[in-house]
Amino acid sequence: MSLDWMAWTLPTALFFLIILLMICGMLVWELVSPTVERKGFLGFPTTRGTRFFIGLLGTGYIHLAWLGLTDLSLWMALPISAVWIFVAMRWG
């Protein structure tokens, strides 16, 4: 029986490294300035961590929709995802 391991490509490793760095940054931000719940355009009270999680989920859905609806390079969805996570964090 052979074990097949995931092939870590550079883009995959960078993706997970960036997510890890963002989570570490959120931890430092929380320690320096504790979050306060607020109600934004999402329609329910959220904390900074909640908005970050919703932003990450949204970027996943943006990329899945990009793959399903276009034949363009997936890298072209990155700016849209970056704008979405910024909007979710700022006004969400």
Q: What is the pLDDT of residue 76?
A: 92
Q: What is the pLDDT of residue 30?
A: 92
The C-alpha atoms of residue 46 and residue 17 are separated, in whole angstroms, by 26
What string of pLDDT tens digits covers the 92 residues of the chain?
555 676 778 888 888 899 999 999 999 999 999 988 989 888 889 999 999 999 999 999 999 999 999 999 888 999 999 999 999 989 98
Q: What is the pLDDT of residue 20?
A: 94
The β-bridge partners of 45 are 39
Q: Is the model's pTM score more than 0.85?
A: no
